[in-house]
Amino acid sequence: DELLALTRDLEGLTFAVSAGGTREPIDPVRYLGNRSSGRQGVAVAAAAAERGARVLLAAANIESAVLADAGRGVEVTTVGTAAELGEAMDRLAAEADVVVMSAAVADFRVAEVSQGKLTKEDGGIPSLSLVENADILKGLVERRREGQTIVGFAAETGTGEELLERGRRKLRRKGADLLAVNEVGWTKGFEATDNHLIVLDRTDEVVADAAGSKRAVADALLDAVVSYRSGQSS
Ligand code: CTP
Ligand code: CA
């Protein structure tokens, strides 16, 4: 760890990283959310900054104690909804050599947000109609800058080959350069401090398989980015 922290191999590069989980409002006091704490994305941002990169972080609903781990060097934009995250990432990615979409983006938002708090006095059980949010990662891939490397994340349930196959399909669908797949479940991946990431590239190759602290896993992901980029420029 000490040695890794001394390697400034990302000097001269700008990273745009998203982390956390979006929240889609239902009414002024309620939202649809997910269990992403932002720890893994913050660890990627912190590791990239320590390795010399300029890091722009779009932080979606990350607890301040977690966000503090990003460190002083990271420039933070805070966002709430998927729409806000999309806007922020479009702006940050326009300056970035490497884009890492580790945020958990809500797939759906509530079609009509209630201006007043929903109340039982309204009678009956309310039903929510949902509409699909734009795919931020796909949009970033469409607007990719020359030489820009785009990394997606996929939190998947399941194990082994099944998990990898789903990751491969997702990588193809999204058109990203690399996809970091992590296994999640009721007790895995979220509040845990340790993580397991498998990184796939466009040839469907496993280019990294790392387990350990979210920081160690972040460094393994950054190593995969570095070798992917050096393979492209040669
Ligand atoms: N993502 C995104 N915008 C969305 C949904 C997802 O940018 N509206 C990004 C995530 O940040 C992540 C990647 O896409 O980097 C994969 O997210 P995931 O939820 O696994 O993919 P989906 O295409 O939404 O597929 P699923 O139906 O399995 O949730
Ligand atoms: Ca999704």
> Residues 130-181: pLDDT tens digits?
999 999 999 999 999 999 999 999 988 888 888 999 999 999 999 999 999 9
Q: Residue 47 is encoded by which pair of tokens? A: 């590791």
Q: Is the pLDDT of residue 71 over 60?
A: yes
CA 102 to ligand 1 center in whole angstroms: 9
pLDDT computed for residue 190 by the predictor? 67
The span from the CA of 212 to the CA of 217, in Å, is 6
Across the chain, mean pLDDT equals 93
Q: Is the pLDDT of residue 31 over 60?
A: yes
| Residue 34 annotated to the active site | yes
Could you tell me if the CB of 136 is within 6 A of ligand 1?
yes
The span from the CA of 52 to the CA of 15, in Å, is 10
For 58, the 3-state DSSP assignment is strand
Q: Which atom of ligand 1 is nearest to the CA of 133?
A: 8
pLDDT computed for residue 132 by the predictor? 98
CA 3 to ligand 2 center in whole angstroms: 36
Could you tell me if the CB of 101 is within 6 A of ligand 1?
yes
Number of separate helices (H) and strands (E) present in the chain: 7, 12
User: Is this complex scored with an ipTM above 0.95?
Assistant: yes
Strand partners, 231: none
pLDDT computed for residue 119 by the predictor? 93
Could you tell me if the CB of 44 is within 6 A of ligand 1?
no
